[in-house]
Amino acid sequence: MATKLNMARLNALRTDALENIESYMDPDTPKALEQFTAKMKAILLADPEMLESLPEYLPVALYGRVKFPTQAKKAWTQWLEKAVAPSWDEFKTSVAFANADLDLVKAVRAYSEFMLIEACAVLFMLDNAGKIQAVSRAKAADTDNDDDIDQDSDDAGGNYDYDADDYGADDDSDEDGYDDQYDNIRFKGE
């Protein structure tokens, strides 16, 4: 009998994992996500029981490191649509782990095979959600641009008068305690 996937749990795990991943994707520190995932792998390898309280850490630790063969993507889509977990034999041929992650994968499997399957389901959802969201954003942008053209046709002449006071610009110099020594500070890229 097939094991059911709890789609509400998978969606929650996906959201939590995505928030963690996005919080470490900083252009100023391009290695931050890699360093964070390396720490997560070490912690989970030492103590896989942490997954009971922090199950989203496994998809984060494996993010970008699990590949789904082309022929397996259809199977993953069907499993998720039907909310059915693959058997171990189906699962092990539907994912490819990096050699560097095999110790972690083995430790997690020994602790909970089902949590490993759930984590890979979340990773599949993350991989495909990004593509779907990008297409949706592109379509929304096209639609928004068309709407903006129609709505802004009154201003098509390009006559834009800008007055800082109209937009709530603050001149703090008359406030008590105002210190103008920081007014001329510029940041890289400004």
When the pLDDT of each residue in the chain is averaged and rounded to a whole number, the result is 79
The tokens for 78 are 């069907």
Kindly tell me the sign of the dihedral angle through the C-alpha atoms of 35, 133, 118, 7: positive
pLDDT of 134 > 70? The answer is no
Query: How sure is the predictor about 184, in pLDDT bands with cuts at 50, 70 and 90?
Result: low
pLDDT of 190 > 80? The answer is no
Query: How sure is the predictor about 42, in pLDDT bands with cuts at 50, 70 and 90?
Result: very high
* Rounded Cα distance, 33 and 26, in Å: 8
Q: Identify the pLDDT of residue 106.
A: 97
**What is the rounded average pLDDT of the residues 68-97?**
95
* Rounded Cα distance, 155 and 94, in Å: 55
* Rounded Cα distance, 18 and 133, in Å: 13
Model's pTM, two decimal places?
0.67
Per the DSSP assignment, residues forming a β-bridge with 84 are 4
* Rounded Cα distance, 181 and 148, in Å: 41
Q: From residue 141, how far is each of 22, 52, 86, 131 by CA, in Å?
A: 22, 40, 37, 15
Q: Higher model confidence: residue 26 or residue 110? A: 110
Query: How sure is the predictor about 72, in pLDDT bands with cuts at 50, 70 and 90?
Result: very high
**What is the rounded average pLDDT of the residues 86-95?**
96
Percent of the residues in the chain that have a pLDDT greater than 70, as a whole number = 67
